[in-house]
Amino acid sequence: MTAQNKITKRVVESILAQKLQPGERLGEQELADVFGVSRTLVREALMQLQARGFVEVRPRKGWYVVEPSLEEARDAFAARKIIEAGLIPQEVADLPDGAPLQQVVHQLREHISLERQAIADNDIAQRSFVLADFHVCLAECLGHRLLSTVLRDLTARTTLVASLYQSSHDATQSCDEHEDIVQAMENGDMALAREHMLAHIDHVGNALGSQANRPAGRLDTALKPLKTRKTLA
């Protein structure tokens, strides 16, 4: 992994964990110190993040995490509904080769166990990350590698929205709704699984407040590595 990719990966993971907040300043020198690289490499990584819609340049001020509007939030949740409902096949027989239902369900239940553990530990950052990562995990389990990359960015965008507009959606409720999706899949009822998925995304989107909240943190703390599925394996 290149230095630029390492920086962009860590920034997106920190957004998913709600450790990096909307409107937070990303100083080039501070990032260079955190990652032990040159400001040139940091600038290249920030430009990649800008192209993906996560950061912006403010004239004479520098780089900042974007602050999505409510309209942009609605667009992001609408895009997720289209993609995530489409991830789930019409019938069990439509599952891709190499993704038997039993294996898919087993992997998703393992992921839900990580969610429940993070909730029990009251680990806010890890909890936020794994709850968002469930949707990426689902895409990967179903063999949709390209869509899993798209979903990672979309879930990060909606996580920024939830941070900015103080979502009231409870973590345990999200985990229970993930369980409902997996249970329907295990029962072979793919139509119900899609219904649960659409309802879940609606619940998260409808829980947003109307007033923006702009807390700020420290980059060296916000960008500490998280325990991802790969590091937990």
pLDDT tens figures, 105-151: 999 999 999 999 999 999 989 999 999 999 999 999 998 888 999 99
For residues 22 and 134, state if they share a domain.
Answer: no
Write the pLDDT tens digit of every residue in 32-43. 999 999 999 999
For residues 17 and 83, state if they share a domain.
Answer: no
Taking each helix axis from N to C end, the angle separating 101-120 and 171-186, rounded to the nearest 10 degrees, works out to 160
For residues 34 and 91, state if they share a domain.
Answer: no
For residues 51 and 88, state if they share a domain.
Answer: no
Per the domain annotation, does 106 fall within a domain? yes
For residues 103 and 167, state if they share a domain.
Answer: yes
Per the domain annotation, does 42 fall within a domain? yes
Single residue among 43, 67, 91 that ends a domain in this structure: 67
How many domains are there within the chain? Answer: 2
For residues 134 and 167, state if they share a domain.
Answer: yes
For residues 63 and 75, state if they share a domain.
Answer: no
CATH number of the CATH domain containing 54: 1.10.10.10
pTM of the shown model: 0.84
Confidence class for position 94, pLDDT limits 50, 70, 90:
confident
For residues 163 and 74, state if they share a domain.
Answer: yes
Per the domain annotation, does 214 fall within a domain? no
Single residue among 67, 90, 108 that ends a domain in this structure: 67
Q: Which amino acid is at 73?
A: A
Mean pLDDT computed over every residue of the chain = 89
Identity of the highest mean pLDDT range in 30-39, 98-107, 200-209: 30-39
Per the domain annotation, does 217 fall within a domain? no
Cβ atoms 131, 175 nearer than 8 A: yes
For residues 140 and 99, state if they share a domain.
Answer: yes
DSSP-derived secondary structure for the chain? --HHHHHHHHHHHHHHTT-SPTT-B--HHHHHHHHT--HHHHHHHHHHHHHTTSEEEETTTEEEE----HHHHHHHHHHHHHHHHHHS-SSGGGSPTT--HHHHHHHHHHHHHHHHHHHHTT-HHHHHHHHHHHHHHHHHHTT-HHHHHHHHHHHHHHHHHHHHTT----HHHHHHHHHHHHHHHHTT-HHHHHHHHHHHHHHHHHT--SS-------HHHHTSPP--HHHH-
Paired tokens of 64: 């900042």
For residues 83 and 55, state if they share a domain.
Answer: no
Per the domain annotation, does 222 fall within a domain? no
For residues 85 and 147, state if they share a domain.
Answer: yes
**Residue-number span of the structural domain to which 149 is assigned:** 70-206
Cα separation, 56 vs 62, whole angstroms: 8
Of 100-109, 113-122, 218-227, minimum mean pLDDT range:
218-227
